[in-house]
Amino acid sequence: MTLSSPLAYYLCVGLAILVLGISKTGFGGGIGILSIPLMAMVMPAQRMVAVLAIILVVVDLFSNVHYLGEWDWGVLKWLLPGAVAGVGVGCLVLLAMQRSNPGRFDKNLSLAIGLICMAVVAMQMVRMVGKNLPTPRSGPVSGAAVGVVAGAVSTISHSSGPIVSLYLLQERVEKRKLVGTMLLYTLLINSVKLILFVALLRTVDGGTFRATAWMIPLLPVGTVAGVWMNKRIPQRPFVIIMYVAAAVTAVQMIWKGL
């Protein structure tokens, strides 16, 4: 069940957009995972995926301004083609879900997104306690393979950031270039997703853009709040709280799907 009152809608969506902005500039992109189940509490999963496709492109445009030219093309030249292919795979999965059982599409999508969010939260928590996760060896094949997986996951659930950041860490990309590379990657892939959502899946239309317009001003507020919080709030307890909240709301999505 989605929460239906206007107050719940604006509170959950507004908080989700602020968390996205904060995640970009304050505590690392991983906590942005909370935005996905938060929005799904007040709108159908298919609608949430469409709205976030627009929001993510806008927030990536804001964020990339601060890292112009800070990119590692040696990594991106293999990662990006794989990710574009992965976006295509993700779109085919969504199309198959739409056509095989239209009546259950939203519930099946909610279940898939909830499970992916739980897996991402688990991955992030394992990293926080200092455990190493298995990563593929460096090279063109591994870069393209990571891109395919990340692109497919991103298309279905908008939650591939930790997969890509783990790969960039393994590639030993310098800190500022890591952030810049990640931001350029997400901008390009989210743009490709948005185009396919409009042209192929038809889940994004004029109504979606109009419904999203009021959310855009909250993005710079979130980025400024992220900078402020980064300097004044201890990172570890804050991030743990965000991941616990993301796990709880992801469970709600799984329950809805079942």
Neighbours of 96 (CB within 10 A): 10
pLDDT in tens, 6-41: 888 999 999 999 988 888 766 656 678 888 888 888
pLDDT at 154: 92
- What average pLDDT does the structure give for the chain? 85
Tell me how far the alpha carbon of residue 2 is from its chain's centroid: 20
How many residues are present in the chain? 258
Q: Distance between CA 192 and CA 211 in Å, rounded?
A: 21
Nearest alpha carbon to residue 42 among 54, 32, 51:
51
Dihedral in degrees, nearest 10, Cα atoms 178, 21, 135, 109: -150
Q: Distance between CA 17 and CA 136 in Å, rounded?
A: 33
pLDDT in tens, 68-96: 888 889 889 999 999 999 999 999 999 89
pLDDT at 55: 92
Rg (CA), the chain: 17
pTM of the predicted model over 0.95: no
Nearest alpha carbon to residue 211 among 2, 7, 13:
13
The tokens describing 232, both together, are: 């004044």
pLDDT at 208: 87
Q: Report the run of H or E that residue 153 belongs to, with start and end.
A: helix 140-157
Q: Distance between CA 182 and CA 171 in Å, rounded?
A: 13
pLDDT at 126: 82
Q: Does the structure show a pLDDT above 80 at 128?
A: no
pLDDT at 27: 65
Q: How confident is the model at residue 2 (pLDDT cuts 50, 70, 90)?
A: low
Nearest alpha carbon to residue 44 among 33, 52, 34, 32:
52
Within 8 A by CB and 6+ apart from 142, the residues are 136
Nearest-5° Cα angle at 63, 57 to 66: 145
Q: Distance between CA 178 and CA 176 in Å, rounded?
A: 5
pLDDT at 219: 87
pLDDT at 178: 82
Nearest alpha carbon to residue 153 among 232, 93, 200:
93
Q: Does the structure show a pLDDT above 90 at 106?
A: no
Q: Does the structure show a pLDDT above 80 at 231?
A: no
